[in-house]
Amino acid sequence: MEHLQQLIIGLVDTFGYGGLFIGMALGNIGAPIGSEVVLPAAGALTATGHLPFLWATIAVSVAGEMVGGSAGYAIGRFGGRPLIDRYGKYVHLTHANLDRVHAFFERYGNFAIFICRFVPVIRGIVSIPAGLAEMNLAHFYLWYFLGSAVFCAALIELGNALGAHFDTVLPLFHKWGLIVLVLAVVAGVVAYVMARRSRARAN
């Protein structure tokens, strides 16, 4: 996976936002890209001037994720389980991972899409089982977009803050990146619980 990460980072460095868009789209149909490293690298490239605007780096990343998520949803919905059984192993969509996603769906409903945007490996394939379940598209896109926006913005901002020092801390970044993701998930779950309680009191 590290070689693929370096390839995508090289594409971003060479082709700018086009390379970033392609990398994020591929990562959201199961390619083992490692967005928790690619996104901070894009932030660092923005800080050093290789990418011109921080807001555009975030927007392109989210757009790539949405396109990849849409493709994954279509694969699940129109390709069905036979297609996934045949080709799922190539994008980490094993029966074990599929069971994990279904467990999230059963526990959290549509909000599971948001939660899964922060779970390594699962985040890149969650759109496929959502398509299999024929999830309402409006709900799918709402939670997918919100999760992607938080995920991309947090890691790009972190990489941007590190700037030219990013290469120095890269060996430790998997650890810190996961900490950021855990904090974001906790914040999202707290917000969801509070919203549900508010609706319950209103009723």
Q: Which of 24-28, 59-63, 77-81, 94-98 has the lowest mean pLDDT?
A: 94-98
Read off φ and ψ for residue 100, nearest 5 degrees. -65, -45
Domain that holds residue 40: 2-202
Domain count, the chain: 1
Q: What confidence tens digit (pLDDT) does each residue in 140-150 have?
A: 999 999 999 98
d(CA 46, CA 19): 14
Q: What confidence tens digit (pLDDT) does each residue in 54-84 have?
A: 999 999 999 999 999 999 999 888 887 777 7
Q: Which pTM does this prediction carry?
A: 0.77
Q: What confidence tens digit (pLDDT) does each residue in 165-180 have?
A: 666 655 555 555 555 5
pLDDT recorded at residue 173: 52
DSSP assignment string, 139-191: HHHHHHHHHHHHHHHHHHHHHHHHGGGHHHHHHHHHHHHHHHHHHHHHHHHHH
pLDDT recorded at residue 53: 93
